[in-house]
Amino acid sequence: MEIEQSSLGIIDREVPEPRPFQGVEWEVVRRMIHTTADFELLDLVCFHPRAVEAGVQALAGGTRIVTDTHMARVGIPMRRMEPLRCVVECLMTDPEVAQRAQRERTTRARAAVDMILEHDVQRADSAPRIWVIGNAPTALMRLLEHIHSGATCPALVVGMPVGFVNAAESKQLLQAQDRVPFVTIQGRKGGSALAACVVNALADVALRS
């Protein structure tokens, strides 16, 4: 904890006022810089105007969180989630997801999005979720298809797929829509750890409320 606080203090000193982000948005971006040691994020992070409010409200209300990788799932520790009564789910290694992906000749990430939404229908669970996508552009693009069709309306999408094939493009599509709040990054950068730390920063705010 002492090392973490020292690191955050260094970031504060190296990004003096006036900063490009204020309030909780700065807490989120500072956590992202802390996770990556990448100050270029100051020019790349994009917040929907309702992102912070929607994310904190959903976490304080005990939302269900979906991640596209188990790395992101374990990166959101239960010590933060249990006091908020939040659950973190990932179906990427579910055998049914693998079978479906093979049958439909698609990616497991895309199949997992479909299965999560089908499970919600079966459970009659219409509560808005937080989606945390840090690896798979196909997961983000499939989720956006469902959003545009009206099949789902997440509380927040943390969309940060990393890589060279459709990563930047999928994030552009996320920014182009206004149906759901989002936090994203322009370009190729991203990753599971980065996406998870956004939720952790918002959870810290919810826990203070």
Which CATH number is 44-208's, of 3.40.50.150, 3.30.230.10, 3.30.70.120, 3.40.50.10230?
Answer: 3.40.50.10230
Spot the catalytic one: 34, 70, 119, 146.
34
Residue type, 79: R
Give yes or no: 34 in active site.
Answer: yes
Cα within 13 Å of Cα(159), Cβ side: 34
Q: What residue spans define the domains of the chain?
A: 44-208
pTM beyond 0.85, yes or no:
yes
The model's pLDDT over 25-72, given as tens digits with 9 standing for 90+, comes to 999 999 999 999 999 999 999 999 999 999 999 999 999 999 999 999
Digit-coded pLDDT (tens) for 79-106: 999 999 999 999 999 999 999 999 999 9
Give 17's contacts (C-beta < 8 A, 6+ positions apart). none
Give the rounded distance of the alpha carbon of 138 from its chain centre.
15
Which pLDDT score, from 0 to 100, does residue 86 have? 97
Cα(32)–Cα(28) distance, integer angstroms: 6
Helix 23-36 / helix 192-208 crossing angle, nearest 10 deg: 140
